[in-house]
Structure 1
Amino acid sequence: MRVIDEAVPFRRVLAAALLALTVMAGATAEYLGARAIAARAAETMALANAAVVAPAREVQRLLDTVRWVQDLLRLRADLRAAGDVAAAVRLEEELRRANQSNLMGIARIAVATEAGHIAWASFPEVCEEMGGASYFQALRHGGSGQVIAGPVPGPCSGQLVIIFARSLRHADGSFAGVAMVSIPALTLSGLLGQPEGKVAVNLYRLSDGRLLARSKEPEEVLQRGLLMAPAHLESARRDPAALPRGPNSIDGRDTFFARRVVAEGGLLVSANLDAESELQPACLLRWLFRAIAGFVVLTYMAGAGVLLVMVSRARVASAQRELERLIAGLPAVVYHGAIAGDGTYTRLYLSRNTMLAIGCTPAEVAAPSDWFARIHPGDHDTARALRRRLLETGNATADYRFARSDGRHAWLRDSARLVVQNPDGSGEIIGTVIDVTEERDLAAQAVMAGKLASLGELATVIGHELNQPLTAMRLLADGIGISLKTGAIERTGPMLTELVGQVARAAEIAGELRRFGRKDGDEVMPVPLSEVVRGVMVLAEAPLRAAQVAVEIDVPADLPRALGRRTPIEQVLLNLVVNACHALEEMPSDRRRLSIQASATATDIVLEVSDTGPGIPPDLLARVFDPFFTTKQEGSGTGLGLSICRTILGGLGGRIEASSDPGGSCFIVTLRRAPEGGSAYNQWAGTQRHPPLSLAQ
């Protein structure tokens, strides 16, 4: 409606504003959150860079001490080579005392000969061969500078130690042995920082990325022989400040890195901070920004919703007034109600156009009981059955007579649909009521016209059929008169008997014509189909005989009665028989057969009319019941016969179906089976499944 449609632009404006606000609030929240996370990440990196300075300095001091000790060991070797054994021994004692005083945590100082034998050690009670060690072989075969080995189990304590080895040379530059300084891995780990701090400091060998020491949990971690990730190792060799964030090699967690290379010793010091823990406050702040943005959007939505509800209520009120104005001009009454599981109806709404649509003021039908009181007593069961069918099928239609304010009765068509179905069997319905009095009158006129059309088609042959008994009666009357004049009274008996038979035959034909042509009533009743078939055959016998059609009838005498009205059923059957007769005229005389069969089911009576004619083309079969459609030649049919048949059967609660093939056609008529005892009409109305059809339908 126009009033409702005017609300659409307003809703679109609110929706567009909501979308813009949502995008703006979301973008602002994400921007502020990203800024907070970036600031926190910068603070974390600054903390890591500050935390790596002291461990790198301690490692450098350790390397300086190791270099000093190795220089003394080189001096010792030079003294012994020069023959100053006493000076060499004093130097050895000084080195032993320095080792025992725990100089920088050194565990052992030793010198190996060129053959790998221990020439001197600060703890001489342990003498192992060093010739097979990889670092010894590397120095022996030309390696120079500091070589760092380990972690390996120490010969004295069995604990993991880091070995700092440097080659010794003779005066001519040839290999003279190796000076070795061993430091426990745990001692080296202690130099990196306090284990309870949140910064984890790792010491790696730059040549292969091997983890040598760790400030946190060194006992557990160092046993695993971990290596730095190749990408991180390669990056650290090129630029220690590169890749400041990524998964660490210990547990794979996201980590901030700050690295320093101790160039002389080939060591890398890395200070690590867990990114998730450090960024958690900033992430919470980002979620807070998001929550604030969501709150702003929800606040706007609430305000817009309230405004929209207020505007919508005003528009709905206006729309309702407009709708009432439009409904007031409709030729139909609109209603809405609730229906209980037992069929009890409660009205919720009734349009105010009752006087225009059905001829009663709103006050006269204010309550459902007022409406029901105006329904014709003979149609009360039909009205009640409408509610029951609604609960069973979801929609229903019924026609009933209704008393208008002016005292006249009108036929109303009540059509309703179940729009809400509750678990307890109740529901809500909407429906319309229209005056179909004129429509039913037109349908009745069409049915009567169909009767007359059928009689018109049979007029010639029926006239010939009536002429035969009349001619016979005239001849018999003449014969009886001559017999009486001549005194041959004994010959008048057989002639009188034959005369009475011919009179009965003519009376039967005339009676069927008179009954078939009169106007039909409204009440339904049990109808014996055997009598219907007999009456139709009286009217159709002459044209069937003229067309040389062989008729087979199989209608049991004890067949249960059908529920309906005799004359309309006869009209349907006569139309089907005449159509079959016309179709069979196109076939050879020996193939003209018509079959009429009837049977019963628990609820229906089925009548089949089949022929051996040429059949109906498949593309036309679906249209045979359409008004004004015919397969006959132009001018030989109106195309209303089968349409009227369907209308008649629909009004009786029945139906008609058609099937066809090149061997002939078959029409199946299904009627409701009459109940045993009681009011036939009322019982049919309570179980009617098919809504009445109109001429327009």
Structure 2
Amino acid sequence: MPVPPRPMNAQAPLPPLAPAAAPPRRWLAWLSAIAIGCALLLAGEALIARLSRDATDSARVEAEAAADVVHQVLLRRLEAVEVLHRLTQSWLVLRESGNDQGRSAIETELASTVNAGQFGFIQVAIIGRDGWMLWSSIPGSGAPVYLGDREHFQVHARGLRSLFISIPLVGRVSQRWTVQLTRPLLGPDAAFAGVAVVSMDLHDLSDALAEIQFRPQDSAMLLRGTMRAAHSRNPGAAIGTELPAEDPLRLAHPDQMTGSMLRATPEGQQSITAWRRVAGTPLTVAYIRDYAASQAGVANLALLVRLTAGAGAAMALMLVWVGLSRRGRAAARRAAEAAEIERSLAQAASRTYARRIGGLPGLIYGGDILPDGTFTLTHASESAERVIGWTAEQLLSLPDPHVLMEPEDASRQGDFYASVADQGEAQREFRVRRADGQWIWVRDSVRVVDRRADGSTEMVGYVADISDERAIQARLQNAGRLTTLGEMATGLAHELNQPLAVMSLAADNASRALQRRGAAALPDIQERLSRIGQQAQRARDIVDHLRVFGRSDEGEPEPIALSQAVQGAAVLTNGALHASGIDLAVELPGDLPLVMARLVPLEQAIVNLVMNARDAIDEHRRDGEGPGWIRIGATVQGRMVAMTIADSGGGIPDSHMERLFEPFFTTKAPGKGTGLGLPLVHAAMRAFGGSITAANGPDGAVMTLTFAIATPPATPPGLEA
């Protein structure tokens, strides 16, 4: 090999080193290249592990959100079941009193509710105390059917007075898979008089669960104990089967109301399962998120990362062979290629995610909550136009999206987002103006996903149109209002008898005075006739108020006077309070401003709270005499009005406070309470844009109802649809 010429002015070369000195330098370069390759492989594996954890966490959040939706669907159906049970109790009372017309009207209402298909019920049936079916909503089911051997009849015959939910079974009348939701029917002496049965169609419920699935590989199911009652993907094979003995869902602690886990399904599918127990029942809802699907993108990316890391290691070896001078440029080229791959994968994943989110029945949005409570909208799904009529681009271009809300709701945004940042999640219901000018009701469910070091909070929300649900809730409230009138019939009769008795006595006295004294008695007769007129007006006012209270009131909140609602509730409850020896005192300031509410639902809420106070006072005085009183007052607190209803009933146990507004939770004796009174009050106050809280005072319970003060409507800034 020729020797290259030596540059001019260069010094003479040093003597050559010993032959052993060169190999260590070459091996050091090779070892450096190998170390670089190993580092790339380890970094790739660490990145893959982090991506897998992130994908698992994201899938867990999605599964928990879907389980919450399934839980809400089931709660709506259970609320409808309770109303149907109360109507069947009224049917029994009318039947025993011989009121065929009223009984027929209730049968028509029961049949129309079932046949409408809104809640997926197959039938409503009434079983007599002897076990034979007395009536069914299924047309042509007049043949006698004996149901005394069914578990849901026997448990009530043995003394169970609360709600019972059967295991999945095939109905003898409907011949379809159902679960039977039953309550005992009680006679006048509170003795067992039969069983009210509502049959829920499990295939219809399975179809409803299928509509909630985020993706085809996922599934949702309903458990009754450890037995599957409904399944979104394979109801025919799943309904009525037990979970395997080794299934982790069977091992969940019974006191744990919610959770999520990594489990293998009976079909051998690895999944992330989120579950929610339905309070007060043996029911559990579960959403099964396919684990393999959640990791599919990670698996593809893992292959690319490993290939990239391997290529990097090979390139490092090549750089040693080519020379250290080119190593920097090669590393920069590899980094650029890896960044481009990650960017392409991120764009593809983003497009897939946006397409799936856009197909949901609700609007998903996200934003940031600053430390001062200010909210900034950062993104919205393409489904926005389908749900609320405004495109995602229009929403993001608004300086403040809350201009689409009622002014009263918009004014409370700061408090709401502060609550979200503090508690981690929250839910609210309000009205939104669509692009076509129509107002709709929506439910906004918000959850915190990240808390940053600067004090800000990242959140995600889900907005769903609940206008139809609000209409159904209004029908349930109307049925509950009529039931309340039936429960207070005795007290109302007493209220009407008082003016009638005074009128009868005044008429008799006037007649005797005229017979004895003739024309000289005319002044006294005129006074008695005036008294008769006053008492007749009193009776007319009671009857007129009953007619107003019984009417349907499904409108939106409007300015009303609290004194008007309190006076109306007093007319309906005076008889019951008088019979119990309880004094009702109303202490409302004369200058109290108008509040946002609806008159009839607010009267019903006050009647429920007053009657609850009456029952608590009666129970508290059972072992001894004591003063019985109820006080209603109100104060202005900033932009809100707080009305309190206090009583001398001894208060509410601390163990009951957290469950006070749960549906079906009651501490009253069997036959006296359904557990829906306070939940209906809570729902009504939420619909008004207010709230209700419970506390204990020195002598008893204090219920505080908070209302927004009515203000003149403001015109939102103009928007182009």
* TM-score, normalisation: structure 1: 0.48
Give me the TM-score of the superposition, normalised by structure 2.
0.47
